[in-house]
Amino acid sequence: MARLRPMAEREPGWARRLLEWQRLGPRLEAEISAARYFVFESLYEVIAWAEVRDWGGRYRQDVGVFATVAEAQAACERDAQARLRREEDAGPVDVRIAPGRRR
């Protein structure tokens, strides 16, 4: 299972690289707390997608179709950074019931 690398093991410029990729057959796989990322390399294209945990199951969200594996990994990195940023910025949720409508 892919995991985040501790800061001590990261090379200089680690802020640009969040995911640790693991090769499983014809695909690469990486994971963060909110999603699992897949990069599948075929003969003519490279397909990247994410399985988001918040949606309760294996719902696939396409990241994109790319020419190289490096482009697909970079897109997954950007998606992971945005997803983690949204988790950090999540504020309190207002759950009050709206007042009834007057007619």
pLDDT in tens, 21-40: 999 888 899 988 888 999 99
What whole-number distance in Å separates Cα of residue 88 and Cα of residue 81? 11
Q: What mean pLDDT comes out for the span 49-78? A: 86
Tell me 26's DSSP state.
T
Percent of the chain scoring above 70 in pLDDT: 70
Q: The dihedral of CA 9, 30, 33, 17: what is its sign?
A: positive
**Residue 10 — very low, low, confident or very high, per pLDDT cuts 50/70/90?**
very low
Asked if residue 94 belongs to a domain, the reply is: no
Q: Write down the pTM of the prediction.
A: 0.68
Looking at the structure of the chain, the number of domains it has is 1
Residue 8 lies in a domain: no
- Asked whether residue 35 is domain-assigned, the answer is yes
Position 4 in a domain:
no
Q: Is 9 a member of any domain?
A: no
Domain with 22 in it? 17-87
Report yes or no on 103 lying in a domain.
Answer: no
